[in-house]
A and B are shown apart, each in its own frame.
Chain A
Amino acid sequence: MIQLEAIRKDYQRRGQILTAFACESQQIEDGEYVAIVGPSGSGKTTLLSMLGGMLSPTTGRVLVDGISLYEHSVAERSAIRGQKMGFVFQSFNLIPYLSALQNVQVPLSFTTTSASEQLERATEMLTQLGLAERLHHKPSELSVGQQQRVALARTLVNDPQIILADEPTGNLDPTSREVVLEIFEQCHQQGRTLVVVTHDPSVAQRATRRLTLVDGMLVRAEDASSNASPQVAAA
């Protein structure tokens, strides 16, 4: 479970303090599929970074499974991320000089997983995503859809409980997009928690809950089944 407690993230620009994100309280239950929507600059990525333990809030706490992330050191937060979280990026962020197989092994290399097990798990993951023939291809030798599948394999190879995705379909064609969303569906069904930042209403539609951000404020939270229920978090 992810909990946000009195979170606020301020930036200082030319002597002015700008609030990038503020939220009194928010909770994301285990197994939830949450879409974060909102216009550009509304604080979606800031929220996702804070959830991922990569951006410390100015005030407030982020708790993941009861652990207050920002009360731990940077290195400890990295370890927590490695254990509990997986990231999906809009530009896939594959390492260009590594093959698909090696890219997928990267998160495992930060753990104590042996080389043979790394290889086995990465191969299995890529095979599941239909990339058995592309194991040794470099990202530049793969199509955009294939690259995103490699990125998804890399996200899932650690078997993370939480998946944080930033515009996962932003650069994809409709077919590839569908593949990614189906994988997200499967992850959701497997009981993982998904937090997806998106502009795309059709992607947000697939989530069980949608959080709408405007100017760093959570202006609306709505379940997939219900209509909009305004909820304003005090800044």
Chain B
Amino acid sequence: MNLRSIIWHELKSRPAGVAFNSLTIFLGVAALVAIRHVTVHSEQAVSKQLTNLGANILVLPKEATLQDYYAADQNGGTLPEEYVAEIFLSGLSGVEQVSPRLNVSTELGGHPVAVTGILPQSEVDSLAAWQATTMFMNAADTGCCTKANVATSDDLKAPEALVKHRAIQDLDKTALVLGADIAQKLNCQVNDRLKLQDEDFTVIGVLPVTGTVDDGRVFAHLHSIQRLWEKDSTCNAIEIVGCCEDAAGSLVPQLRELLPEAKVVTISQVVETQVGVNELMAKTSWIVLAVMILVGGAGLAGSIASNVRERRREIGTLMALGATPGFIQKLFLGKAFILGLCAGSIGCLVGVSAAIIAGPVWAGVAITPLVGTSLLAIFAATVVALVAAWWPAHGAARLDPCICFREV
């Protein structure tokens, strides 16, 4: 028999009480860990998107929200595709790529899918080059980002370019590029044939896993999608890649002037929005931590204090039998330590599991366990429990041992 076994036997004797005492801490840790996991992974996803998108600008219908864009929601309104040519013809400097996108929903093999129509860069390259040449021959200084095509880039050749560069050089009107998830669901590989609106298409590529909504999308030629879904010459969004952040920044006011009927936002605004959501979630997680400390700590302090009251005679008896005040204090602090550690560990496990399950649904990001965050949460829960139990434990150690003689 020793301190640990006394604590352990006492805990075992009242499992329901133990569970109730640790409930707040357990819930707090679970929520904290789940939110932190989603936040951290969401931040990573945003950072990845930012890297992938580069200096990006989005042209959206006035009524559309960024959410519509990310959700590939075709109800967010449409833009005329002629905006693409208009952007090129305006001769704005720093425009690197202009990629219109049109989203429609359909079913493939019984699975609901978002089909995104994209325009291959080869179909706008000449227009852009002609305009640039005529501008050079006629115009004055074109400002920032007047650069020469001195080398061939194969960046956009492969279908995988869609993931990294958000554009593709060539795309046949009967070709499809599948996101990783949908390819897996449909059990499709390159050269397989699929039907869209009763028309045959050939899969020319399967994109690598990105952890974004693109994994569930099917990409096809914009004009095929427009024709099959009778969307005329429209699109839901136009992505413009500037050669650098400065170019993107200075392009925005010019684009707003050029396309007054559209909403023009930079990727930094998109990121700011996303980061804003992340910051909110991060703040929420700290609020959860604060709630955990206050409610969980107060709850645990209350239950330890109540436990001390219930066990006054036992404490007196132990003191009569030779227990020192230090031993009594350790008896309650040890109990709190175990409660905090167990509630923290189980809460952490539940939080991580919840994040793994709900993360892709809530935030569209794949979650992997974060060891540091998990350990920190367990540590925090344990410290909170110890701090909460400190005062009642101290009170127990100062109890009058004569209480052991009192009859109940």
Interface residues on chain A, number (Cβ under 8 Å): 35
> Please, what's the 1-or-0 string for B175-219, where 1 marks a CB less than 8 Å from any CB in chain A?
000000000000000000000000000000000000000000000
Query: Is residue A198 contacting chain B, with contact meaning CB distance below 8 A?
Result: no
Q: A48 near B405 (CB under 8 angstroms)? A: yes
Structural contact, B404 and A89, CB atoms closer than 8 A = yes
A38 within 8 Å of B (CB atoms): no
**Complex contact A115–B321 (CB within 8 A):** no
| Bound complex: CA A11 to CA B8 (Å) | 39
Residues 282-331 (chain B) with a chain A CB within 8 angstroms? 313-314, 316-327
Q: Is the CB of B1 within 8 A of A82?
A: no
A43 within 8 Å of B by Cβ? no
Assess whether A106 is in contact with B405, with CB atoms less than 8 Å apart. no
Task: Tell me whether A54 and B402 are in contact in the complex, defined as CB-CB below 8 angstroms, given that A95-B314, A98-B9, A109-B6 are known contacts.
Answer: yes
B261 to chain A, nearest CB (A): 76
Question: In the complex, what residues of A have CB within 8 A of residue B317's CB?
Answer: 87, 89, 93, 95
User: Bound complex: CA of A108 vs CA of B316, how far in Å?
Assistant: 16
A78 touches B319 (CB 8 A): yes
Q: Are B1 and A78 in contact (CB under 8 A)?
A: no
What residues of B have a CB within 8 angstroms of the CB of A97 in the complex? 9-10, 12-14
Given A102-B1, A105-B1; A45-B405 close (CB under 8 Å) = yes
Question: Cβ of A74 < 8 Å from any Cβ of B?
Answer: yes
- In the docked arrangement, what's the CA distance between A235 and B1, Å? 45
Nearest CB in chain A: distance from B397 CB, A: 9
Residues in B306-358 with C-beta less than 8 Å from chain A: 313-314, 316-327
| Least CB separation from A110: chain B residue | B322
Q: Which residue of A lies closest to B319 (CB)?
A: A78
A93-B317, A93-B404 as given contacts; A78 in contact with B9, CB under 8 Å = no
What is the chain B residue whose CB lies nearest that of A154?
B321
- Contact status A82-B13, CB under 8 Å: no
At the interface, yes or no: A55 with Cβ under 8 Å from chain B? yes
Closest beta carbon of chain A to B151's beta carbon, Å:
78
In chain A between 74 and 129, which residues have their CB closer than 8 angstroms to a CB of chain B?
Answer: 74-75, 78-79, 81-83, 87, 89-91, 93, 95-98, 102, 105-111, 115, 118
Scan residues 35-56 of chain A and give those whose CB is less than 8 A from a CB of chain B. 45, 48-49, 52, 54-55
Known: A91-B408, A118-B1. A52 touches B320 (CB 8 A): yes
Q: Is the CB of B402 within 8 A of A49?
A: yes
Are A75 and B326 neighbours in the complex by a CB distance under 8 Å? yes
Measured between beta carbons, the chain A residues less than 8 angstroms from B319 are 54, 78
Q: Which one of B3, B321, B402, B407 contacts A81 once the chains associate, using CB atoms below 8 Å?
A: B321
CB pair A75–B324 under 8 Å, yes or no, is yes
By beta carbon, the residue of chain B nearest A52 is: B320
B321 neighbours in A (Cβ, 8 Å): 81-82, 87, 106-107, 110, 154
Q: How far is the CB of B381 from chain A (nearest CB, A)?
A: 25
Q: Is the CB of B322 within 8 A of A107?
A: yes
Does the CB pair A96–B9 fall under 8 Å?
A: no
| B134 contacts chain A at the CB level, 8 A cutoff | no
Decide yes or no whether B153 CB sits under 8 A from chain A: no
Candidates A52, A93, A115, A158; contact of B313 at CB < 8 Å: A93
Instruction: Assess the B405–A49 pair: CB atoms within 8 A.
Output: yes
Binding site for A on B (CB under 8 A): 1-3, 5-6, 9-10, 12-14, 313-314, 316-327, 400-402, 404-405, 407-408
A residues with a Cβ closer than 8 A to B are 45, 48-49, 52, 54-55, 74-75, 78-79, 81-83, 87, 89-91, 93, 95-98, 102, 105-111, 115, 118, 154, 158, 166
15 example contacts (A-B, Cβ-Cβ < 8 A) are as follows: A49-B402, A54-B319, A54-B400, A74-B324, A75-B325, A78-B322, A78-B324, A89-B317, A93-B314, A98-B6, A102-B1, A107-B322, A108-B1, A110-B324, A115-B1
